[in-house]
Chain A
Amino acid sequence: MFDENTPYAVRTYAPEVLIKALQKMYLIRKFEEGAEDSYTRGLIHGTMHLSIGQEASAVGACMSLTDDDKITSTHRGHGHCVAKGADLTKMFAEFFGKETGYCKGRGGSMHIADPSKGNLGANGIVGGGLPIAVGAALSAKRLGLDDVTVCFFGDGANNEGAFHEALNMAAIWRLPVVFVCENNKYGMSTSIERSTAVKNIADRAAAYDMPGVTVNGNDFSAVAQAVDRAVTRARKGDGPSLIENLTYRWRGHSKSDRNRYRTKEEIAAWQARDPIVRMGEMLIEHGILDQNGISKIEAAAAATIEAAIAEAKASPDPHVDQATRDVYSQSGAAA
């Protein structure tokens, strides 16, 4: 029933798994829209980085991961969290600085983590997660576990020393880690043409003797295929890979962005390549869902997010007299 033109994802995953993936993509989109709306209403202190337009990369890359497999994420990490199975209310609660949030209100958007699902956390430091991911992979290898770590990072991070040092160590020690670069063309205002000497970031894999591939990061199936292969390789003990997902962030870098480094036309062209629409079309084409089913999924995602926001908003704030709690594992160690 499948031919060589059938996308990898359709050949590989059961229909209900694909439907779940689409649901997650919509949840990410609606999460980000809800976050943006909350920000506009002054409910969010601090900053945030939205991943609208990059949903296929987050969800596609997590397809072959279990809850024991790890990810490290970035400042633009809401999508990765959702893809790895995070609780949406706890995410919003963190956003609102609540005691019930993932970090009990101490971390905010840039530090959400969910170790119970293998999510080692977003990071406020560009490139900060790369060595940590290699460390997680070292643990897996030393402890004889078959867990794999997927390390998400942006195109901007590939110019940090930490990127180069991390890839090298992962390679010399043949560690089970998959480096997933979400190349959305810009690190803040600086395009990869202006920041990066090689044309494809995946080309840098050659310097560390690991496979490197560049894929269409808005094509769920292409991302899943590339990451699945790399995860299988890592699990077998054959070492790390570098995957570059070409994608685009629709919104500005963060809350403050005048978009002076890119054109309206460029943004519009990428919006026409919406990864969620593309995924929906694939599922319709292969008879897995119809338009009505997709609309229902979208509406359900919106309702879920609305409920999560309401619940998060109503939850308690941390106590001010606990501001220095959890600095050390043992209470009193700081005194």
Chain B
Amino acid sequence: MNAPGVPETRELSYAQAIREAMDIALAEDERVVLMGEDIGVYGGAFQVTGDLVEKYGTERVIDTPISELGGAGVAVGAALTGLRPIFEFQFSDFATLAMEQIVNQAAKLRFMLGGAVSVPVVMRFPAGSGTGAAAQHSQSLEAWLGHVPGLKVVQPSTPEDAKGLLLAALDDPDPVMIFEHKLLYKSKGRVPAGRYATPIGKAAIRREGRDMTIVATSIMVLKALEVAKTLEAEGIDAEVIDLRSIRPIDRNTVLASVRRTGRLICVYEGVKTLGIGAEISAMVAESDAFDFLESPIVRLGGAEAPIPYNPELEKAVVPQIPDILDAARRMANGQV
């Protein structure tokens, strides 16, 4: 039994946690609908919606045709006019077919109409490599959308946040884009029961440390935590920050950490150049935290290539634990 006031937690997978958030939202708010390709009886390409169609029916768990642009646009229009749609892209890569509606419509309608409307749409994007699905089904495009004012973009790394950020997204009056890493769907963690929201725009310090700051996103947070454990045995005390939200970005948490540790490594799966690491590095360079740096900043991101099919090549183009470990050791030894 939990003490009163302390929410009960259970072990759930990341996918189950997202499903639970959608279940809660569907149960408590008639305006919530799920839309996407094969999210009904099929249960979603990654079995995230699962059996929700049995509970809520096909009027609220809506299979769309294979029409990403149109489907996303219908979700935008529905959000504009009173519904609370959660639109699932089958793969985040297919956002490329819907960019018009996401970037020109969802992100800008409120602004263009002088604040007269809002677009409370939630879009979910299964993202990332590691499944052997090759170049058109493995991308990490979060920085693309992170570049667009009017959108909010989050990347949960834990089941607890996957649920909490989805519920926060539904509470948010603006369009929220949720990038879910496909390799995380089966990962497990303690998840509070019932309704709660994880604040959008707030990073989480997953491990405190004095010697260096590792800012990571999504699955890279798990890798960074593994690395921190190994480093601890070597006498290196790394702080691991889970960015969680890339728009808005939690400047304060990152800068305060860099002021404490004097060292910064950014780790993310999206292509390194013009990516999240560039933004974080520039944030530091433009602030007083820069004066605290004892070492050049290191960015570890995706290689300058599409994701290859061959499994060894596929691993080689995104940061892996040994890459992070190596960078951290060199930094600690002043070899950067």
Q: Does A317 contact B (CB under 8 A)?
A: yes
Which of A133-141, A153-161, A288-296 participates in binding chain B?
A153-161
B61 to chain A, nearest CB (A): 12
Q: For residue B68, which residues in chain A have a CB less than 8 angstroms away from its CB?
A: 160
- In the complex, are the beta carbons of B305 and A327 less than 8 A apart? yes
- In the complex, are the beta carbons of B313 and A106 less than 8 A apart? yes
- In the complex, are the beta carbons of B312 and A127 less than 8 A apart? no
- In the complex, are the beta carbons of A125 and B136 less than 8 A apart? yes
Q: Does B82 contact A (CB under 8 A)?
A: no
Give Cα A123 to B137, complex, Å.
Answer: 11
Q: How large is the interface on B (under 10, 10 to 19, 20 to 34, 35 or more residues)?
A: 35 or more
Give Cα A223 to B74, complex, Å.
Answer: 37
- In the complex, are the beta carbons of B97 and A160 less than 8 A apart? yes
Q: For residue B132, which residues in chain A have a CB less than 8 angstroms away from its CB?
A: 44-47, 108
Contact (A187, B65) CB under 8 Å given A106-B308, A261-B41: yes
Q: Which of A47, A106, A327 contacts B133 (CB 8 A)?
A: A47
Q: Does B144 contact A (CB under 8 A)?
A: no
Q: For residue B97, which residues in chain A have a CB less than 8 angstroms away from its CB?
A: 125, 160-162
Q: Does A264 contact B (CB under 8 A)?
A: no
Q: For residue B310, which residues in chain A have a CB less than 8 angstroms away from its CB?
A: 45, 97-98, 105-106, 317-318
Contact (A159, B66) CB under 8 Å given A107-B309, A108-B134: yes
- In the complex, are the beta carbons of A126 and B66 less than 8 A apart? yes
Q: Could you give, for residues 117-130 of chain A, a 1 whenever the CB lies within 8 Å of some chain B CB and a 0 otherwise?
A: 00000011111100
Contact (A161, B66) CB under 8 Å given A106-B309, A320-B316: no
Q: For residue B134, which residues in chain A have a CB less than 8 angstroms away from its CB?
A: 46, 106-108, 110-111, 124
Q: How large is the interface on A (under 10, 10 to 19, 20 to 34, 35 or more residues)?
A: 35 or more
Q: Does B295 contact A (CB under 8 A)?
A: no
Q: For residue B314, which residues in chain A have a CB less than 8 angstroms away from its CB?
A: 45
B64 to chain A, nearest CB (A): 8
Q: Does B303 contact A (CB under 8 A)?
A: yes
Q: For residue B65, which residues in chain A have a CB less than 8 angstroms away from its CB?
A: 156, 159, 187, 190, 195-196
Q: Does B173 contact A (CB under 8 A)?
A: no
Q: Could you give, for residues 112-154 of chain B, a 1 whenever the CB lies within 8 Å of some chain A CB and a 0 otherwise?
A: 0000000000000000000111111100000000000000000
A105 to chain B, nearest CB (A): 4
- In the complex, are the beta carbons of B41 and A323 less than 8 A apart? no
- In the complex, are the beta carbons of B311 and A124 less than 8 A apart? no
- In the complex, are the beta carbons of B40 and A323 less than 8 A apart? no
Q: Does A40 contact B (CB under 8 A)?
A: no
- In the complex, are the beta carbons of A124 and B67 less than 8 A apart? no
| Interface SS, A side | loop
Interface centre among B43, B132, B306, B308 (most CB of A within 10 A): B308
Q: Does A206 contact B (CB under 8 A)?
A: no
Give Cα A107 to B138, complex, Å.
Answer: 12
- In the complex, are the beta carbons of A161 and B67 less than 8 A apart? yes
Q: For residue A127, which residues in chain B have a CB less than 8 angstroms away from its CB?
A: 66
Q: Does B317 contact A (CB under 8 A)?
A: yes
Q: For residue B135, which residues in chain A have a CB less than 8 angstroms away from its CB?
A: 106-107, 111, 124
- In the complex, are the beta carbons of B303 and A160 less than 8 A apart? no
Which residue of chain A is the closest to B91 with respect to CB atoms? A124
B312 to chain A, nearest CB (A): 5
Which residue of chain B is the closest to A97 with respect to CB atoms? B310
Contact (A260, B41) CB under 8 Å given A125-B136, A159-B65: yes
- In the complex, are the beta carbons of B66 and A187 less than 8 A apart? yes
Q: Does B37 contact A (CB under 8 A)?
A: yes
- In the complex, are the beta carbons of A324 and B304 less than 8 A apart? yes
Q: Could you give, for residues 303-335 of chain A, a 1 whenever the CB lies within 8 Å of some chain B CB and a 0 otherwise?
A: 000000000000001101011100100000010
Give Cα A196 to B64, complex, Å.
Answer: 10
Which residue of chain B is the closest to A257 with respect to CB atoms? B42
A317 to chain B, nearest CB (A): 7
Chain B 54-87 interface residues, beta-carbon cutoff 8 Å to A = 63, 65-70
B175 to chain A, nearest CB (A): 21
Which residue of chain B is the closest to A47 with respect to CB atoms? B133
Which residue of chain B is the closest to A44 with respect to CB atoms? B132
Q: For residue A196, which residues in chain B have a CB less than 8 angstroms away from its CB?
A: 65
Q: For residue A47, which residues in chain B have a CB less than 8 angstroms away from its CB?
A: 131-133
- In the complex, are the beta carbons of B63 and A124 less than 8 A apart? no
Give Cα A128 to B135, complex, Å.
Answer: 14
Q: Which of B66, B94, B131, B317 contacts A46 (CB 8 A)?
A: B131
Contact (A260, B313) CB under 8 Å given A159-B67, A324-B304: no
Q: For residue A44, which residues in chain B have a CB less than 8 angstroms away from its CB?
A: 132
Give Cα A258 to B45, complex, Å.
Answer: 11
Q: For residue B20, which residues in chain A have a CB less than 8 angstroms away from its CB?
A: none
Give Cα A323 to B317, complex, Å.
Answer: 7
Which residue of chain B is the closest to A334 with respect to CB atoms? B304
Q: Does B38 contact A (CB under 8 A)?
A: yes
Q: For residue B94, which residues in chain A have a CB less than 8 angstroms away from its CB?
A: 125
Q: For residue B41, which residues in chain A have a CB less than 8 angstroms away from its CB?
A: 189, 260-261
Q: Does A103 contact B (CB under 8 A)?
A: yes
- In the complex, are the beta carbons of A320 and B66 less than 8 A apart? no
- In the complex, are the beta carbons of B312 and A327 less than 8 A apart? no
Q: For residue A142, which residues in chain B have a CB less than 8 angstroms away from its CB?
A: none
Which residue of chain B is the closest to A103 with respect to CB atoms? B309
Q: Does A194 contact B (CB under 8 A)?
A: yes
Q: Does A188 contact B (CB under 8 A)?
A: yes
Give Cα A194 to B42, complex, Å.
Answer: 14
List 20 A-B pairs, Cβ < 8 Å: A46-B134, A97-B309, A105-B310, A105-B313, A107-B134, A124-B136, A157-B66, A160-B66, A160-B68, A162-B97, A187-B65, A188-B45, A189-B40, A190-B37, A190-B63, A260-B41, A318-B308, A320-B312, A324-B304, A327-B304
Which 3 pairs, one residue from A and one from B, show the smallest C-beta to C-beta distance? A46-B132, A108-B309, A124-B136
